[in-house]
Amino acid sequence: MMLKNLKPWRLTILLIAIVITVGALYFFYANSINQDGSNEEKDVRNIPVRYGDIKNEISVSGTLKPAVKESLYFSTSGKVKNIYVEEGEKVNKGSTLARLDNETIANLSEKVAEDEIAVRNAREALESIKNPDINLSLANLNKNLAAANLDLSDAKESLKLLQNPSASTIAQLNLNISESKSFLNQKQSELDDMVSNYETNIAIAKRNVIQSEIALDNASTSLFSISNKEDLIEEYLEAIQSAQTHLTNAENNLISNEINWDTNIANAQTTYDQALEDYKESMIAWLGVDIDVKDSTTLEQNPIDLIESWGVTLSEVYSGTSETYVGSDDPTTPWNEKTVNQWVRLYPTIAMIQTQLYSYANNPFPNCTQTNKESLSECVKNKIEPLWINLDAASTQLKQTTLNRDTNLASLNSSILNATNNLSEAQQNYDEITAPTEQIIIDNLTIEKEIAELNLKVANTNYIDALNGTDIVELHKLQHTIKLANISVEEAEENLFDALNPNTLELELRKTQVNLAEVNVVEIQQNIDALNEEVDPLEIEAQQTTLDKLMAKLEQDRTNLLNATIVAPFDGIISVINIEEGKTINNQNSPAMEIVDPSILQLDGNVPEIDILSVTEGAKANINIDALPGQLLTGKVTHISYLPITVQGVVNYPIEIEVTLGENTQIRDGLTAIGTVSIQEVLNVLVVPIDSLYGTFENPLVRIEDSGGYIEQPVTLGANDDYWIEITGGLEENDLILLESRSADTQQGFAAMFGKGGGAFGRKPPARQSGK
């Protein structure tokens, strides 16, 4: 009703105002929507759910040191006679490392012998005091007395043998020398063979490296040729043009040379035919012999030699006088007797009839005039032999020309064949490079290149192993064995020398043994005499005390004797040697040398307090050593300190990582290393970026693409690292989920909860647009 009451012009103004207001509102709304959509479009993408690994690690830096180290001592003073090892040398358990001089060892042996006798006597004395069975004791003492007398006899015999060694002893010592030298020669031969094998292995490994490098270069070239077709197409077109030019030139050369050679052959053939005709007619004229032009043997034979092969000489053929007349030919001879007889009868007046008999075009038949002093046979020889020489020269020239032609034409034909092959190869290369390349070929070439790179890596590793392999260790062992064998030979020779030239100290030791044996006999006899005396408890106690002291002294002296020779307590490396041969040891508390076990190393490092509760004993670790770039060692955590170390307010906990060494790995004490300790590892599980999560920890969600939009999908979470999180339920591989990226100042949600920022907690996904 109100609109009906309005005047028309007012109604028009009202409608215009309404239209303008609605248009403005629609404009601002559409602009806001488009702007928001544009921002979302830039930050939104879909990614597939995939399988992956989640690993969390911490790094520990520190130094390497042997886990097992032991100092070795001489337990008594003395002069160092031999040191059998050097610093850094590998030794086996039980190997002799060093020993004191013979005099010290002899003195220690004497002390031990004295102690053993004293302990044995003290023990027997104590037993006899405790159990004074006179009869049994008397029997035992008599037995001991007999044994002591036997020992005395043996000691005297030993002294006698030392002063005057027997022939069998000398023979045994010589045998020992021979066996020691034989063993030394055997080990030296083994060393020579090992060195030869070592060099052969290195050569083979080096050859494999070269072959692998060639294979990699070929694969790389093939792959490069596919990736750079344009340059190769131009190169192959130039190769086709060049090959075509070479082929045309080769064919033209062949045609030109064939013409030239045909001319040369024709000239040589004409010369040969003329020389043959001259020689043939000469033989007919002078001897009536018609030469067969197909008989190469006859043509190649000097006419004088040919006549002699008939069993006659030229003089014999032309024998006879002018009065002799032959009216017919003898068919049994190669020559014509009638023709020969005419020359015999007419000579030397042959000039009168020569024009009536024969003539040659442009070459009148030669004659022998009356003024010629030579015989008819000489004349004939001088006439026909030069013609044969000309024929032989013409034949040789014709053959050589023919051979030269064949060689030259064969070379030109070979050039044509090569040019044809080059043209065909260039055309084939061009066809191949211009043909479409299937992806499978590129993939195959890529795989071939990767295989070649792997083979080269393996070949280089094998080459390094060949240089530093087990053969080196065995070589050092064998060298050490040879060193010990040399020492054995020297000792065997020294023993023979000592037997032939008794050492004064050894003589004194044997005399001492005789004296001790005599004292033992006297002491046993005194014990026999004391059997009838009464036993005093204090005497038993005193005797026990004496026995204990003697046993302690015996044990100490045995230890001193044993330690006069230092042996390796385990397989290892001599790290320090503090002694020198010929020097006297006065301080038994100073270590002579130090041995370490290189097969067991440990990395000492510190872990911050924030990470220490994530580290457990037995955790796996990877070790990187600066001195071994590219080589990764493994290990495990063996100790975690209960007590921390605080430096300037920073709290760390010391840990120890035992390093597992490879068979050929060489590590030295004090090297800097970095250990990467695994604190969590989940392999081959479904993972998504943390940024793709929505919702809350109690109800985590992802948004899955569905019919142009997205639906929220609840998921179950597992382990996570800085970027990925494990999905244990709710998704399958290749599901497409929404991933939104935000700038750092707006990051929130799960990414912020997991400590990395980003995420989409509390946000709604944008509407899916075309092409997204």
Higher pLDDT among residues 15 and 756, named by residue: 15
User: pLDDT class for 344, splitting at 50, 70, 90?
Assistant: confident
End residue of a domain, out of 375, 397, 419: 419
According to DSSP, the residues that pair with 70 across neighbouring strands are 595
Name the residue among 209, 124, 744 with its Cα closest to residue 465. Answer: 209
Confidence category of residue 767, pLDDT binned at 50, 70, 90: very low
| 75-85 mean pLDDT | 88
Same domain, 415 and 523: no
What's the N-to-C CA distance of the chain in angstroms? Answer: 53
Instruction: For residue 55, give the nearest of 718, 689, 680 by alpha carbon.
Output: 680
356 and 490 within one domain: no
Report the pLDDT value the prediction gives residue 66, as an integer from 0 to 100: 82
* Confidence label for 39 from pLDDT (cuts 50, 70 and 90): very low
Contact 47, 737 (CB under 8 A): yes
Following DSSP, what letter does each residue of 510-556 receive, concatenated?
Answer: HHHHHHHHHHHHHHHHHHHHGGGSPP-HHHHHHHHHHHHHHHHHHHH
Which pair of structure tokens corresponds to residue 410? 């064969």
| CB 624 within 8 Å of CB 673 | yes
Spatial distance between the Cα atoms of 329 and 718, rounded to a whole number of angstroms: 129
Tokens of 685: 């599980």
**Number of residues written out for the chain:** 772
Does 289 share its domain with 160?
no
Is residue 579 in some structural domain?
A: yes
Give yes or no for residue 409 having a pLDDT over 70. Answer: yes
Q: What is the pLDDT of residue 70?
A: 87
Task: Provide the pLDDT for residue 745.
Answer: 42
* Structural domain boundaries, residue 357: 261-324+342-419
**480 and 357 in one domain?**
no
Q: Verify that 267 and 411 share a domain, yes or no.
A: yes
Ranked by mean pLDDT, the top range of 15-19, 433-437, 741-745 is 15-19
Q: How far is Cα of residue 696 from the mean position of the Cα atoms in its chain? A: 58
Q: What is the pLDDT of residue 256?
A: 92
**In 3-state terms, what secondary structure has residue 373?**
coil
C-alpha atoms less than 13 angstroms from C-alpha of 613 in its C-beta half-sphere: 2
Radius of gyration of the chain (CA): 58
35-39, 164-168, 207-211: segment of lowest average pLDDT = 35-39
pLDDT of residue 393: 93
Tell me the per-residue pLDDT of 288-338, one tens digit each, with 9 for 90 and over.
Answer: 888 888 888 888 889 988 898 899 998 888 887 777 788 788 888 999 988
Domain contains 526: yes
Confidence band for 228, pLDDT divided at 50, 70 and 90: low
Could you tell me which of 541, 570, 626 has the C-alpha nearest to residue 94?
570
Is 254 domain-assigned?
A: no
- Report, as an integer, the average pLDDT of 394-405: 92
358 Cβ contact list (under 8 Å, min separation 6): 281, 285, 365
Mean of pLDDT values over 140-157 = 84
266 and 415 share a domain? yes
pLDDT band at residue 184 using 50, 70 and 90 as cut-offs: confident
On the question of pLDDT at 162 being above 90, the answer is no
Rounded distance between C-alpha atoms, residue 484 and residue 85, angstroms: 10
- Which three-class secondary structure state does DSSP give residue 705? strand
Distance CA 495, CA 502 (A): 10
Q: pLDDT confidence of 267, banded at 50, 70, 90?
A: very high
253 within domain boundaries: no
One domain for residues 496 and 415? no
Q: What is the pLDDT of residue 28?
A: 55
pLDDT of residue 249: 92
> 48: pLDDT confidence band, cut at 50, 70 and 90?
very high
Residue type, 512: T
Q: Using CA atoms in the order 230, 235, 237, 239, what is the torsion angle rounded to 10 degrees?
A: -160
pLDDT for residue 350: 53
Which has more pLDDT, 11 or 143? 143
pLDDT, average across residues 448-460:
85
Distance CA 60, CA 655 (A): 9
Query: Which contiguous run of DSSP H or E holds residue 266?
Result: helix 229-287
pLDDT recorded at residue 142: 80
- CA distances, 653 to each of 61, 620, 656, 659 (Å): 13, 18, 10, 19
d(CA 121, CA 128): 10
Neighbours of 471 (CB within 10 A): 19
DSSP string computed for 463-510: HHHHHSSHHHHHHHHHHHHHHHHHHHHHHHHHHHHHHHS--HHHHHHH
Same domain, 480 and 415: no
Residue where a domain terminates, one of 562, 591, 620: 591
pLDDT tens digits along 625-664: 888 887 888 889 989 998 999 988 899 999 989 887 766 6
**Rama region for 630: left / alpha / beta (φ>0; ψ in -120 to 50; rest):** left
The segment with the largest mean pLDDT, out of 183-187, 532-536, 718-722, is 183-187
The Cα 499–Cα 503 span in angstroms is 8
Give the pLDDT score at 248: 93
* 489 in the same domain as 407: no
Over the stretch 124-144, which tens digit does the pLDDT of each residue have? 888 877 776 666 667 777 888
**Rounded to whole angstroms, how far apart are CA atoms 136 and 128?**
9
Task: Report yes or no on 694 lying in a domain.
Answer: no
Please list, in sequence order, all residues whose beta carbon lies within 8 angstroms of the beta carbon of residue 149, skipping any fewer than 6 positions away.
Answer: 521
Q: Region of 708 please: left (phi>0), alpha (psi -120 to 50) or beta.
A: left
Distance (Å, rounded) from C-alpha 456 to C-alpha 733? 37
Q: Which of 525-534, 580-589, 746-755 has the lowest mean pLDDT?
A: 746-755
How many CB atoms lie under 10 A from the CB of residue 608? 13
Judgement on whether residues 415 and 480 belong to the same structural domain of the protein: no
Q: Are residues 414 and 495 in the same domain?
A: no
DSSP string for 431-443: HHHHSPPPHHHHH
SS3 140: helix
> CB–CB of 654/605 below 8 Å?
yes
What DSSP state is assigned to residue 571? S
Looking at the 3D structure of the chain, how many domains does it have?
Answer: 2
3-state secondary structure of 587: coil
HSE value, Cβ hemisphere, 13 Å, CA-based, for 379 = 23
The tokens describing 371, both together, are 């003024």
Is 769 part of a structural domain of the chain? no
Residue 403 has pLDDT above 90, yes or no: yes
Number of C-beta neighbours around residue 384 at 10 A? 24
pLDDT bin (cut points 50, 70, 90) of residue 707 is confident
pLDDT value of residue 746: 42
> What is the pLDDT confidence band of residue 414, given thresholds at 50, 70 and 90?
very high
Please answer whether residues 686 and 727 qualify as being in contact, where contact means their C-beta atoms are separated by less than 8 angstroms.
yes
Q: Other CB atoms closer than 10 Å to residue 329's CB: what's the count? A: 15
pLDDT bin (cut points 50, 70, 90) of residue 577 is very high
What whole-number distance in Å separates Cα of residue 513 and Cα of residue 763?
103
Residue 743 lies in a domain: no
Name the token pair of 318: 């032309």
CA distance 146 to 139: 10
CA atoms within 13 A on the CB side of 451: 9
362, pLDDT greater than 90: no
DSSP string, 301-340: S-HHHHHHHTTS-HHHHT-S-TT----S--TTSSS-HHHH
Domain co-membership, 525 together with 412: no
561 inside domain: yes
Last residue in a domain, options 548, 564, 591: 591
